[in-house]
Amino acid sequence: MKHKFLLRVLGVFSTLALLIVALPLSPVSAAASITLYPNSGPAGSLVNFSIATTATNGTTAWILFNGVQLTSATVSGGSASGSFTVPTTVTRGTYTVSTLGLGSETSATFTVTPSITLASATGYVGDSVAVTGSGFAPSTTVNFYLSGSTTAFAHLNSSSTGTVSGTITIPPAKQGVLSITANDSALPALLRLISLLTPK
């Protein structure tokens, strides 16, 4: 009796073992990571990326910025690299840069910062200087400051996409190299330098 019971138990274990072996194995996703150089900058910035992955050679890795496909790179020897341009229409903030096509996707963040550009790097007090900018909060007032002053000397309104365009007048200041920053009450734009010339 004990012998028959032992045979039945062994039979059950054998059946279970066969069932386990017969189960299909789930494919193991290829791990990946992505690094951005730089990981912050104004809209329109050129960004280099490097992907480390165990995906097979020839696999296409698509690069998405905030869910929008920008470019792709081909895996070779466990890595893929390339570059993309941050869309000029994005406003200030932190965005996700992600991959698609590697099996196990990865992502990193890119912070869009405001930026201003002056049409001239030199000028006199009272001169009007054309200025353009991007990455500001949409439809808001952008204030301009000279060399660390807390009092704005000029104001421009940003567009619905966060860009600014117009002219500013250089306020009274001592001759020398001065800095101009622009701020929409949040993050300041990258400063730009202007050389103030001697009076005309």
pTM of the model: 0.65
Are 108 and 119 within one domain? no
Are 86 and 139 within one domain? no
Of 112, 129, 157, the residue at which a domain comes to its end is: 112
Mean pLDDT for the stretch of residues 185-189: 61
Give the integer Cα–Cα distance in Å for 16 and 119.
78
Of 80, 112, 144, the residue at which a domain comes to its end is: 112
Tell me what the pLDDT averaged over the chain comes to: 81
Are 98 and 127 within one domain? no
Are 66 and 83 within one domain? yes
Torsion angles phi and psi, residue 86, rounded to 5: -65, 130
**Pairwise pLDDT comparison (131 vs 186), residue with the higher score:** 131
Are 108 and 54 within one domain? yes
pLDDT tens-digit profile of 100-159?
999 889 999 999 888 888 888 888 888 899 999 888 888 989 999 888 788 899 999 999
In a domain, residue 25? The reply is no
Residues 6+ apart with CB under 8 A from 82: 48, 49, 63, 71, 72, 73
Are 130 and 173 within one domain? yes
Tokens read off for 17? 């073992």
pLDDT tens-digit profile of 65-77?
999 999 999 999 9
Number of domains in the chain: 2
In a domain, residue 81? The reply is yes
Instruction: CATH number of the domain at 140, please.
Output: 2.60.40.1930
Torsion angles phi and psi, residue 155, rounded to 5: -140, 140
Of 44, 78, 112, the residue at which a domain comes to its end is: 112
52 is in which domain, residue-wise? 32-112
